[in-house]
Structure 1
Amino acid sequence: MEVIVLDTDVTFATDIAELWGIFRKFTSKQAIGLVENQSDWYLGKLWKNHRPWPALGRGFNTGVILLHLQRLREFSWMQMWRLTAEKELLSMLATSLADQDIINAVLKQHPYLIYRLPCQWNVQLGDNTLSELCYTEVQDLKVIHWNSPKKLKVKNKHVEFFRNLYLTFLEYDGNLLRQELIGCNKSRANHVEDVLNSIDEDDPCYEFRRARVVQHRTHLYYIEYDYEPSSDGNDVTLVAQLSMDRLQMVEALCKHWEGPISLALYMSDSEVQQFLGYTLSSEILRVRKNVGYHIVYRDGPFYPINLLRNVALQQVTTPFVFLTDVDFLPMFGLYENLKKSVISMGLETFKKALIVPAFETQRYRLSFPKSKAELLSMLDMGTLFTFRYHVWTRGHAPTNYAKWRTATTPYRVLWEPDFEPYVVVRRNVPDYDRKFVGFGWNKVSHVMELHAQGFEFIVLPNAFTIHMPHAPSFDIAKFRSSSQYRKCLKILKQEFVKQLSTRYSKEFNVEKRKLKR
């Protein structure tokens, strides 16, 4: 078996198939292909008393490694490197360059193992001149290795060319690989293709129907996630989705919610790199290991909001979830509040959805209320409003805010058409319906299905969440400006209600005339 091992800070400027072809040039004893080190590190001349690990001449850089595994096994590689490392550690005490030091020490004792790769296959962009000797024209190089701690700021006469090549690579759309990826699961790909072919391209709502079945490239847990649900069986994960224009809201959300979070992020390939840099440089986000970031790559004209919600929901490991949106800030202490409520309200046993009443502010700078009493005072002063009071009261009116003002115990409310509260439920609730994309009816349809399944809706008297202001999304603008958009949404609503009535015919009966939005 042959394996190529690459550092993550390399950029290919050629077809990797050429590198695979080099294995055919190995002799019967050669098992490791490496490029010579292009710095003076292993020569021991960098500073006074500099004492590197032993190496052949300049040593070898392990940013690009070709490994012939069968030969390494025949030569007892595992025993070979362990004995060498143990021997050197008696005097060296530790490695400076990790595996590279040990591999070089082994090759010093067993030089027959090495195949010397041409240096174009690992042009090491440190602050030295040797890398420039690897090529006469930049077109000659094969692999660019940003192995200096300075990365893109290294000194090299061609660094601008290399930097532009790297940035161009970042802008590539990963959908270029789509055909190859689908080939890994042909049955699934064929099914999707059959569904797409069955959609009438002359249908004025074709793009909506197509969006429901599009396969999006997805990268789960893009950043390290390390969290074990509490052993009490009452843990709650906050579930939300967002795009790049809402990324700055994640920091504030993490300040308000100390529990686990599952986020689905809809981004292009280049935006993912910006997201990564932002997250790792944030003092708040980089220390939070209980936030699961799941990347769904952009594809198509619509924001696949319910697909994103499903991705975030399906990765939850706690028994309960708080289904919300990223532009809402929960009251301080809501996480602990909800953990107590799910037990006292019997969510594990009964079909109940706990409603966290939603409010909103028009102020970008808000002195966030520390209690229900403070929130009520701000309502009276006009600093806060019940959510969507001015534009869409039906979405949250069933919460019965008048009763909530004086309530001290949880109270039940009845479902009504267009109800879309933010709820706490068991993790195994139905998925969101993917036919709803962009703006309109995405949460409404989910809450309607909960009602169809017989869920009770219980309002929590001492819980709240507040919507923070931001610019309107592109999808809201399309909904408001396009009559065809609104017409298609109406058709999708009618189809959903019909399907729901059929699926839950015994439990659910909808008065269709009430469903006009």
Structure 2
Amino acid sequence: MKLCRKFKLWKLILLLVFVVIFLQIFHMSLLSKLESKETEDFSQINKVLLEIESKVRKPHRLDKSGTYNVIPNVIQASRRPTMNSENLTIITQCTSNHLHHLVELTEFFQGPISVAVFTYVNDVQNAVRSIAYYHFCNKFIRRFVTFHMVYPTDTPPINSPSWDVTFDCDTPPTNTDSANYAIEGIEYPHNLLRNLALKYSRTSHILVIDIDMIPSPNLKEVFMKNQKNYFLKKTTFISRSAHVVPAFELKNGYDVPKNRMELIDLWEKNIIRPFYEEACWKCQKYTDYDKWRASESELTSAYHADFHDPWEPFYIAAKSVPQYDERFKQYGFNRISQICEMHIAGYQFSVLTDVFLVHKGFKHTQEFHKTKNDELDKNRILFRKFKNELKAKYQESVRRC
């Protein structure tokens, strides 16, 4: 009897061993196929570059105003999400000289990222070269980042027979820290770029950030935990809800904190501080950073925050959020106009207490470009008009901003 039991036990152990071995082989096979696919993609560089050239040279669609040419999906991520496989896409935008920020961003957030790149005249080939370099020379960017392009109709690419976008993975593109909206004589269309990147994202929810921001490593985990809790409580997920991710600024030369405890430690040492604390404190203070610091650190905890002008938080929300108004260009009111519409449309804001965003470098008022105040005055007039339009659009709403 004992021998029989021992024999059965050994059979069970052997069976489990074979199962483990099989699962490991199966897992390695999947990884091998994935790496093989990515290597195959890498071998198609010339083909991809020719396809991009064709997209740039051929006529393509314009934006609503007819002022900009729009080229979606210039290069797509090798791992393209579906509404079920991934729930969150980071939406961002920049000029070609800021694409290097994607390297660190994808290291911290290994999930879908949709980026719209603004270019113009002689910069087009440089933009394509930079996009191709980061796609083919960085495994995380290749897996997760989808690129789109926008350029003004009155400054199209040079219609030259020569097309040189060759690159070497050992030589990164030249980058500068100049502001996106410091391009001489060309208006930078933040909101058009955001709308483009948002439209071609493939997940149910989005987080719109600046490209030089880094999310805390646990961002996806916290978001997924919140989603799961809604389901377990058998409550309907409110489509008009926005989960605010508190934003901070980090002194140059320091590493981005890996968790809340590290961030608070750096905060106490004045190495990190709330975003825009010097540049525009009213734009962020309604996040209530003191309450955030005093809150318990739990994956699902959050507190309600009321909208007050001129609050412009960074948030996670359903992809169905109101579009950004594309009339706002250059500096000022481009983000708050969309937050304002969300508020009037009935969105509720709650602040997540265990996640954060970090902007690399302190924002100082004296560092803004010289035309900032003129642009601010121009957009302030447009914002007043925009708010009156919202009253007509949401006649039943009693909210104002």
TM-score normalised to structure 1 length: 0.55
Residue of structure 2 aligned with 1:353, choices 242, 245, 259: 242
Quote how far apart the aligned CAs of 1:508 are.
Answer: 3.8
Which residue of 2 is the match for residue 206 of structure 1? none
Quote how far apart the aligned CAs of 1:402 are.
Answer: 0.5
| Matched position secondary structure for 1:477 | coil
- The answer to whether the aligner puts 1:337 opposite 2:337 as a matched pair is no
Whether the 8 Å contact between 2:67 and 2:152 is mirrored in structure 1 is no
Whether the 8 Å contact between 2:119 and 2:150 is mirrored in structure 1 is yes
Distance 1:416 1:448, change over 3 A: same
Which residue of 2 is the match for residue 213 of structure 1? 65
Letter of the structure 2 residue corresponding to residue 221 of structure 1: N
Letter of the structure 2 residue corresponding to residue 359 of structure 1: F
Which residue of 2 is the match for residue 141 of structure 1? none
Deviations 1:426-452 (A, max 9, x none): 011111001111111111011111111
Whether the 8 Å contact between 2:78 and 2:143 is mirrored in structure 1 is yes
- The answer to whether the aligner puts 1:384 opposite 2:272 as a matched pair is yes
Deviations 1:90-146 (A, max 9, x none): xxxxxxxxxxxxxxxxxxxxxxxxxxxxxxxxxxxxxxxxxxxxxxxxxxxxxxxxx
Letter of the structure 2 residue corresponding to residue 306 of structure 1: N
Quote how far apart the aligned CAs of 1:312 are.
Answer: 0.3
Which residue of 2 is the match for residue 290 of structure 1? 144
Matches of 1:391 and 1:470, distance apart in 2: 9
Deviations 1:292-349 (A, max 9, x none): 1111124562101000000000011111111211110011121222222234356843
Q: Where in structure 2 are the equivalents of 1:5-44 lying within 5 Å?
A: none
Any unmatched runs of 5+ in structure 1? Answer: 1-150, 152-169, 193-211, 512-517
Whether the 8 Å contact between 1:347 and 1:426 is mirrored in structure 2 is no
Distance 1:348 1:509, change over 3 A: closer
Distance 1:270 1:243, change over 3 A: same
Whether the 8 Å contact between 2:91 and 2:197 is mirrored in structure 1 is yes
Letter of the structure 2 residue corresponding to residue 334 of structure 1: L
Residue of structure 2 aligned with 1:494, choices 380, 384, 401: 384
Matches of 1:471 and 1:220, distance apart in 2: 31
Quote how far apart the aligned CAs of 1:471 are.
Answer: 9.5
Q: Which moved more, 1:216-225 or 1:379-388?
A: 216-225
| Matched position secondary structure for 2:187 | coil
Q: Which runs of 4+ in 1 moved over 6 A?
A: 470-473
Identity %: 25
Letter of the structure 1 residue corresponding to residue 193 of structure 2: L
| Matched position secondary structure for 2:335 | helix
Distance 1:375 1:500, change over 3 A: same
Residue of structure 2 aligned with 1:467, choices 329, 335, 359: 359
Distance 1:323 1:497, change over 3 A: same
Which residue of 1 is the match for residue 197 of structure 2? 312
| Matched position secondary structure for 2:93 | strand
Matches of 1:234 and 1:275, distance apart in 2: 27
Whether the 8 Å contact between 2:244 and 2:314 is mirrored in structure 1 is yes
Whether the 8 Å contact between 1:256 and 1:329 is mirrored in structure 2 is yes
Whether the 8 Å contact between 1:264 and 1:311 is mirrored in structure 2 is yes
Matches of 2:118 and 2:378, distance apart in 1: 23
Whether the 8 Å contact between 1:501 and 1:508 is mirrored in structure 2 is no
Which residue of 1 is the match for residue 342 of structure 2? 450
| Matched position secondary structure for 1:222 | strand
Matches of 1:477 and 1:228, distance apart in 2: 37
Distance 1:358 1:470, change over 3 A: closer
Whether the 8 Å contact between 1:330 and 1:465 is mirrored in structure 2 is yes
Whether the 8 Å contact between 2:83 and 2:204 is mirrored in structure 1 is no
Matches of 1:238 and 1:244, distance apart in 2: 18
Whether the 8 Å contact between 2:343 and 2:399 is mirrored in structure 1 is no
Whether the 8 Å contact between 2:89 and 2:205 is mirrored in structure 1 is yes
Matches of 2:67 and 2:289, distance apart in 1: 41
Letter of the structure 2 residue corresponding to residue 352 of structure 1: S
Residue of structure 2 aligned with 1:263, choices 107, 115, 119: 115
Quote how far apart the aligned CAs of 1:373 are.
Answer: 1.1
Which residue of 2 is the match for residue 237 of structure 1? 89
Distance 1:318 1:394, change over 3 A: same
Whether the 8 Å contact between 2:249 and 2:362 is mirrored in structure 1 is no
- The answer to whether the aligner puts 1:510 opposite 2:395 as a matched pair is no
Whether the 8 Å contact between 2:249 and 2:363 is mirrored in structure 1 is no
Matches of 2:83 and 2:134, distance apart in 1: 29
Letter of the structure 2 residue corresponding to residue 336 of structure 1: E
Which residue of 2 is the match for residue 276 of structure 1? 131
Q: Where in structure 2 are the equivalents of 1:152-231 lying within 5 Å?
A: 181=59, 213-229=65-81
Which residue of 1 is the match for residue 28 of structure 2? none
Which residue of 1 is the match for residue 256 of structure 2? 368
Matches of 1:234 and 1:292, distance apart in 2: 15
Matches of 2:129 and 2:150, distance apart in 1: 15
Any unmatched runs of 5+ in structure 2? Answer: 1-45, 47-51, 155-185
Letter of the structure 2 residue corresponding to residue 435 of structure 1: R
- The alignment's C-alpha RMSD in Å is 3.2
TM-score normalised to structure 2 length: 0.69
| Matched position secondary structure for 2:379 | helix
Which residue of 1 is the match for residue 38 of structure 2? none
Distance 1:258 1:228, change over 3 A: same
Quote how far apart the aligned CAs of 1:247 are.
Answer: 1.1
Matches of 1:476 and 1:263, distance apart in 2: 24
Quote how far apart the aligned CAs of 1:380 are.
Answer: 0.7
- The answer to whether the aligner puts 1:325 opposite 2:210 as a matched pair is yes
Letter of the structure 1 residue corresponding to residue 214 of structure 2: L
Q: Which protein has the larger Cα radius of gyration, Structure 1 or Structure 2?
A: 1
- If asked which structure has higher relative contact order (CA below 8 Å, sep 6+), I would say 2
Matched length = 309
